[in-house]
Amino acid sequence: MTAYLSDVTALARKDLLVELRSRDTVPAMLLFVVGALVVFHFALADSSRLAAAGMLWIALLFTALLALVRSFVAEREGTVIDGLLLAPCDRSAIWLGKALSVFAFLAFAEAVALPAFALLYEPVTWELIAGVALANVGIAAVGTLLGAMAAAARARELLLPLLFLPLAIPLIVGGVGATLADDPARYLGFLALYDLIFAILSWASFEYVVTE
């Protein structure tokens, strides 16, 4: 178990270092999410609380897609993924390391997006923060698996949204519900259940996605 966690830490640390050096993903995510919130603000000047929550979740979802599309770029270039697959570590450690780095990128983008949302639309509640955090887990879990799947395909930029968006619908339902409903605990529970199921499925199936 210690060796597994050490592998995951090394892989996640590597992803953060690669992003720190290349600055390819996070700056684009920040610009996109703030830009989208500003555009929605002016496009729908009299937006209701309901519409504001919906717009926030749409902006977060498409921002996550930016991170996921780029999640395996470093491994695809020069087939570095082969080097990782040759290593004697458990292949699921590659998934978990990558999912942790995707989670960190999303959290970073949301740390900017939520204050912007509060400024332009509504105050940020604890229920919203909890919903965003739980949705991040699901996005990172499913999105990393699909990102690896799409990375092996020729039309990867098209394939990833096609695979990811249908699977993200429950996250939007849970996220918007947690933001607006009188009983947010029910929706937060739903998000937690989604996270648990899809994290286990993604963890268990990653090896079959990246190997022949």
Partner 1 sequence: MIRARNLGRRFGDKRALSGVDVDVERGEFLLVTGPNGAGKSTLLRLFAGLLVPTSGELEVTMDRARVGFLAHDPLVYRELTPLENLDLYGRLYRIPERRERIGMLLERFGLWEARSELTGDLSRGTLQRLALCRTLLHEPELVLLDEPFSALDATGTDLLLDELARLTAERRTLVVSSHQPERFGERPTSRLALAPA
Q: What is the CA 170 to chain-centroid distance, rounded?
A: 14
Q: Determine the size of the site formed for partner 1 (CB under 8 A).
A: 24
- Least distance from C-beta 85 to partner 1, angstroms? 7
Other CB atoms within 10 Å distance of the CB of residue 151: 19
Binding pattern for the stretch 56-75 against partner 1, x by CB under 8 A and - elsewhere: ------------------x-
Rounded to 5 degrees, φ, ψ at 72 are -115, 20
- Least distance from C-beta 176 to partner 1, angstroms? 37
Contacting partner 1 (CB under 8 A), which of 43, 45, 86, 155?
86
Taking each helix axis from N to C end, the angle separating 2-22 and 91-120, rounded to the nearest 10 degrees, works out to 50
Q: Which of positions 22-61 make contact with partner 1 (CB under 8 A)?
A: 22
| Region of 57-65, 79-87, 113-121, 179-187 interacting with partner 1 (CB under 8 A) | 79-87
Per-residue burial over 170-209, b if 16 or more Cβ lie within 10 Å, else e, is bbbebbbbbbbeeebeebbebbeebbeebbeebbeebeeb
- Note the residues at the interface with partner 1 (CB under 8 A): 3, 6-7, 10-11, 14, 17-18, 21-22, 74, 77-80, 82-89, 212
